[in-house]
Structure 1
Amino acid sequence: MSEAFRGQDSAVAVIGVSCRLPRAAGPAAFWALLRDGLDAISSTPADRWGVAAFDPGSPALGAGHGGFLDGVDHFDAGFFGISPREAAAVDPQQRLTLELGWEALEDAGVVPERVRGTSVGVFIGANKDDYATLSRRYGVEAITEHSTTGLQRGMIANRVSYAFGLTGPSITVDTAQSSSLVAVHLACESLRRGECASALVGGVLLNLSAEAAVELSRFGALSPDGRCFTFDERANGFVRGEGGAVLVLKPLRQALADGDHVYCVIRGSAVNHDGPSEGLTVPSACAQEEVIRFAHERAGVQAADIQYVELHGTGTRVGDPIEAAALGAAVGRPRRAHGPLRVGSVKTNIGHLECAAGIAGLLKVILAIHHRQIPASLNFRQASPEVRLEEQNLQVQTQTAGWPDPGRPLVAGVSSFGMGGANCHVVVSEVTDGEAGQSTTLDAPAGPTPWALPLSAKTARALGEQAMRLRAFVTEQPEIPIRDVAWTMATARSVFAHRAVVVAGDVDGFLAGLQDVAGLQDPAGLRDVDVSSVVVRGV
């Protein structure tokens, strides 16, 4: 390892994560999809293109395939204080980002009400406005007093800041396909300058209109096979994906001092532009190599330290060889004595999320570090002759496996390149043993102890549904101590009008109590539950 990561004072911790991705309604489901090497690509839903007179199965859409979310029209407007009339005019990308922001804060153990009025920043990568396209099909009669705020992309970040009462920078970033990773870079820079104390950062894309897909098809970007064949001889374009992810970032020293759970550390990042390449949308190998080297310099790492790189990896005939050459020059060949550099692309699992692709790739790496396994990159059979993997000392990760050198700090890079030439690279690592020693821990009482597990929700039905979800969580993840679940629910969750408390001394008692609360989800059965209702089991 190079000098123990130069510039530790500038390191940024990832302390919360959330996502909604194809066939993955949250980080745990996303990790399961990655770990098991699953393909989330499907045929385009028959009703996805709305009123457009367009056949979703047309070859113009790349065989009508993509990575899609279910229920993109579902939204609990009342939870966020938005009227049904206004919600109908609000881009679903705004709605999804609100939900992801709330979930990321909860995952970080941050009660949203406690950060109101504080300098938390919001940085969201977004560059599509399909919902505005759909709305305009209905003419001027469809325009309401909420259309201006509901349809502007800049409002995606602003809506989160307003809803949560956050006073830090609030920026929607558009650098085409590199938007969300550039948002991460900007968020880290803002934290280092002290503009914000913590930050919500992410990206979002929903594919709602046929027009956007037709544009990409006629540009020649989409694979007629409906798959991303990253670095493979079959590479012929990409398949579209959709969804979003949001992270909670905090200066590492502060996160350790506060006793936060740290998923991983962002050591450094860099951005640049291709400059005068062979064409507006033709990547520059020199610029990509330069942005990677600059990110390494800022992170205090050397090529030999990097064990894995999450590629931009779209699976295009022009882009793949250029990216391989740049990565080989910056990392692969300089580390030849340490074996080939492992590489892969999440686009082979969920499709290309375009402006949200960078955050999806970063989240994959965060989870890979957290679980100490590198997931397989799919659809790789034989390398394209133009990619020259052996010459560049690169190796596609084709099986889910442990890190190449787990005895050393796990270090990875993430690349994201915009079609107009805006490049970004981020260096991520695990928390080192020396850093972990600076964190604080909570000592649990010795011996059997009853624990109180509180639940609350804005509606009676939501209270019962929360009990069901929590029961499933406790059942599916028995390795998590019940005391930790109870502590989190008591100290890191918002308190709403409808409440219940389960008190028990063991897991079976909690499961029984949660089942009782879940059984009351009929609104009639919870009509009078507007103060604490105690279910006692196993005390």
Structure 2
Amino acid sequence: INTSCSSGLVAAHQACQSLRAGDCDTAIAAAVNLMLTPHAWWGMSQAGMLSEDGRCRAFDRRANGLVPGEAVVAVVLKRLSRAQADGDPIHALIVGSGINYDGRTNGITAPNGAAQAELIGEVQARAKIDPGQIGYVVTHGTGTRLGDPVEINALDEVFGAKAPAPGYCALTSVKGAVGHAFAAAGLVNLVCAVQALTQRTIPPSLHCEERSDYIDWSRSAFEVNRERREWVSATPRVAAVSAFGMSGTNAHMLLREYEAPAVAEEGGPAYWLLAVSAKSGEALRERLADLATALRGRAWGAADVRSLGYTLLCGRQAFSHRCVVVAQDADDAIRLLECAAAG
């Protein structure tokens, strides 16, 4: 998929659509940007797009252009029910996404704020997410005097009257730290948002020291987060991610932190089933002794015992020398494993 700077996030959106439609049960969205020849640099320089001092100053009044960056990003996507059933690590939930097109503008460096606002509002409405629930926005934020205010004003048009208070929502641009990764930029933003959710921490937006005078910050729902800070929230955290093409295809996505369902512990399991194998008798005895030592080192709940038994039986290669222990509890399992290890 090639939609210029929004390519990666558009790919992730299309992957979500395929998963929801049942076209696939697992999707990988990936994007790459490598600067292997000087031609791209030359073209961007001729168009006046590059920062003269090599700093991307997103949302700063001294913003003077972008800084190219390289990136290779890949994310694995599944429906939540499938990921839970497969026992996958779940980092965040994509609760809504969408794309639209800028239409006619004044040039490749002149984004369409009305189109951006329309898309953001549509994604929120489909996801049934109120602006007040969103605590962090990873913006496209390329560091241009024109593009950054257009993006913030479009966000404010949507958040506007529904904002709990001025400056309540943090926003950052990744590009001050890693540069503009073009086709991969949207997925870089996505990874940034996921990390913020899992770490419950909002990173700083670098090189913003004098806030842009093209934005009325006193009335804006947003504040540029300029120092790393803890993300405190009484409700599940929600983040928004944007990626915009060069006056082309826009993409927007909403993410919510994943809260694993509590597993009720209903006493110990009825029995322990531990399967071990190895390539030789001597190696098998060593594995049995190692397992006995591991069991002695911690307390085991019912869910832990089921996971241990399942992993040993289904998640390990089966060799010709084998031993299976059926025990009543941890002490019984340790005794039987040590007896088996001793022959």
TM-score scaled by length of structure 2: 0.76
Contact kept, 8 Å, 1:270 with 1:295, in 2: the verdict is yes
Task: Provide closer, same or farther for how the CA distance between residues 258 and 385 of structure 1 changes in structure 2, counting only shifts above 3 A.
Answer: same
- Of 250, 260, 272, which residue of structure 1 is paired with 2:88? 260
- Of 343, 360, 373, which residue of structure 1 is paired with 2:201? 373
1:184 aligns to 2:20 (yes or no) = no
Residue aligning to 1:415: 242
Unaligned segments of structure 2, at least 5 residues: 278-303, 318-343
Shift of 1:453: 12
Residue aligning to 2:297: none
CA distance in 1, matches of 2:224, 2:132: 17
Unaligned segments of structure 1, at least 5 residues: 1-172, 455-482, 496-539
> What's the C-alpha RMSD, in Å, of the aligned pairs?
3.1
Residue aligning to 2:299: none
The superposition leaves residues 268-296 of structure 1 with CA deviations (integer Å, 9 ceiling, x where unpaired) of 10100111223354211100001111111
Residue aligning to 1:428: 255
Residue aligning to 2:39: 211
CA distance in 2, matches of 1:393, 1:337: 7
Residue type of the partner of 2:53? D
CA distance in 2, matches of 1:216, 1:308: 30
Shift of 1:297: 1.4
Alignment of 1:31-180 (within 5 A): 173-180=1-8
Shift of 1:403: 1.6
1:319 aligns to 2:147 (yes or no) = yes
CA distance in 1, matches of 2:88, 2:146: 43
**Identity across matched positions, percent:** 39
Residue aligning to 1:15: none
Residue aligning to 1:291: 119
Contact kept, 8 Å, 1:198 with 1:249, in 2: the verdict is yes
CA distance in 1, matches of 2:34, 2:106: 31
Residue aligning to 1:279: 107
Residue type of the partner of 1:417? F
Contact kept, 8 Å, 2:167 with 2:223, in 1: the verdict is no
Task: Provide closer, same or farther for how the CA distance between residues 183 and 440 of structure 1 changes in structure 2, counting only shifts above 3 A.
Answer: farther
Residue type of the partner of 2:254? V
Contact kept, 8 Å, 1:259 with 1:440, in 2: the verdict is no
Shift of 1:202: 2.0
CA distance in 2, matches of 1:191, 1:227: 39
Residue aligning to 2:128: 300
Task: Provide closer, same or farther for how the CA distance between residues 416 and 452 of structure 1 changes in structure 2, counting only shifts above 3 A.
Answer: farther
The superposition leaves residues 124-176 of structure 1 with CA deviations (integer Å, 9 ceiling, x where unpaired) of xxxxxxxxxxxxxxxxxxxxxxxxxxxxxxxxxxxxxxxxxxxxxxxxx1000
CA distance in 1, matches of 2:310, 2:178: 31
Residue aligning to 2:339: none
Alignment of 1:368-407 (within 5 A): 368-404=196-232, 406-407=233-234
Q: Could you tell which deviates more after superposition, 337-346 or 185-194?
A: 337-346
The superposition leaves residues 57-104 of structure 1 with CA deviations (integer Å, 9 ceiling, x where unpaired) of xxxxxxxxxxxxxxxxxxxxxxxxxxxxxxxxxxxxxxxxxxxxxxxx
TM-score scaled by length of structure 1: 0.49
Structure with more relative contact order (C-alpha pairs < 8 Å, separation 6 or more): 2
1:222 aligns to 2:40 (yes or no) = no
Contact kept, 8 Å, 1:259 with 1:441, in 2: the verdict is no
Task: Provide closer, same or farther for how the CA distance between residues 303 and 207 of structure 1 changes in structure 2, counting only shifts above 3 A.
Answer: same
CA distance in 1, matches of 2:104, 2:63: 26
Residue type of the partner of 2:230? G
The superposition leaves residues 12-58 of structure 1 with CA deviations (integer Å, 9 ceiling, x where unpaired) of xxxxxxxxxxxxxxxxxxxxxxxxxxxxxxxxxxxxxxxxxxxxxxx
Residue type of the partner of 1:238? L
CA distance in 2, matches of 1:364, 1:235: 22
Shift of 1:337: 3.5
Aligned residue pairs, count: 287
State the secondary structure of the residue aligned to 1:424: strand
Task: Provide closer, same or farther for how the CA distance between residues 262 and 218 of structure 1 changes in structure 2, counting only shifts above 3 A.
Answer: same
Shift of 1:388: 2.4
CA distance in 2, matches of 1:367, 1:302: 22
Task: Provide closer, same or farther for how the CA distance between residues 491 and 206 of structure 1 changes in structure 2, counting only shifts above 3 A.
Answer: farther
Shift of 1:255: 1.7
Asked which structure has the greater CA Rg, the reply is 2
Residue aligning to 1:246: 74
Task: Provide closer, same or farther for how the CA distance between residues 199 and 381 of structure 1 changes in structure 2, counting only shifts above 3 A.
Answer: same
State the secondary structure of the residue aligned to 1:317: coil
Residue type of the partner of 1:429? R
